[in-house]
Amino acid sequence: MTQTLTIRQPDDWHIHLRDNAIMQTAVPATAAVFARAIAMPNLQPPVVSAQEAISYYQRIKSCVPAGNSFEPLMTLYLTDHTTPEMIVEAKQAGVVKACKLYPANATTNSAHGVTDLGLLKETFATMEEQGILLLVHGEVTESHIDVFDREKEFIDRHMTKIVADNPNLKVVFEHITTADAAEFVASTSANVGATITPQHLMYNRNDLLVGGVKPHNYCLPVLKRNTHQQALREVVATGSDKFFLGTDSAPHLKHAKESSCGCAGCYSAPAALELYAHIFDDIGCLDKLEGFASLHGPKFYGLPVNDKTVTLVRDPWQMPESVKVGSDDMVPFYAGQTLNWQVQR
């Protein structure tokens, strides 16, 4: 049985670093293991311009521990009013790698999201020309569509059209949760990839609902039935380079999660790589972890693989029940439970 595993230093291709006090906790947690991370732009107000992206980049860098070379990769938040000129400015800024498509009101802080994809036809064309990736939260938002069906409905109604109309645009289908999404990504062009979170590999909707609602397992897109979870586990076990690590780590204070209308998001940053190692070991494909965590993402983004390495050791430990943020607490994903791997620090 493998006792240690050394891989190229990984990157996180989808993370929420937030701002202010939470950012001061979230950034060091991510920088401790990951070399780079795609920072989501859904702040309040959102990051919609090159100048705002530069400002956010600087705030993130100010939270990186001394001597650590962690590099945030910035994104713009697409709205109905994002113009081709704004995309060109973002490219020239040098720090912006992608734009994030949130359908309006699909998830946390998405009220400013896109209401009509047709408004962005020229913007998508300019992103294609400039080499700016499109990152998609793939869910429809109509209230009459069952929350468990919204990802498939988005594929059928929008995702196929986005890819067909923009064949040279690199598109990341983010935090996929269904067999439908896995099949779509696997079967479409090389310009389409996907990120998969630890929670969607580890859990299904029983882990959210059985025995009482588990607010710290609540995320969007919501956990699906076990057949979809199994499909995601099977696709990462293939080693396909179309799928790569994106935690969607989304920190919220404990009281915001444990409320009458709790926030969506799982805070996995304190043990992100250990969670994936635990899962890949459980599936029986530890040999595929390096590709998923460290190689496929840079290849898709057209970036170099990291030079440094990280070593994981089989040494069971317990995830803390909480993480301090000033006088408040956050509850990490998998709190109080045992993980079989830990990063050698």
Strands 328-330 and 338-343: what pairing? unpaired
Which stretches of 155-271 are DSSP H helices? 160-165, 179-187, 198-202, 206-209, 226-237, 254-257
Annotated binding site for substrate: 16-18, 42, 137, 220, 252, 264
DSSP element (H, E) containing 315: strand 309-318
The span from the CA of 194 to the CA of 175, in Å, is 7
Q: Which residues contact 213 (CB under 8 A, 6 or more apart)?
A: none
Catalytic one of 11, 12, 248, 281: 248
Q: Per the structure block, which two tokens stand in for 277?
A: 């190692």
165 part of the active site: no
User: What is the secondary structure of 88-112 as a DSSP string?
Assistant: HHHHHHSSEEEEEE-BTTSSTT-TT
336 CB neighbour count, 10 Å cutoff:
11
The span from the CA of 135 to the CA of 125, in Å, is 15
Identify which of 217, 334, 307 has the alpha carbon closest to the alpha carbon of residue 35. 307
Annotated binding site for Zn(2+): 14, 16, 100, 137, 175, 248
Q: Per the structure block, which two tokens stand in for 80?
A: 């109905």
Cα distance from N-terminal residue to C-terminal residue, the chain: 22
Indicate the angle between helix axes 179-187 and 226-237, nearest 10 degrees. 30
Catalytic residues: 248
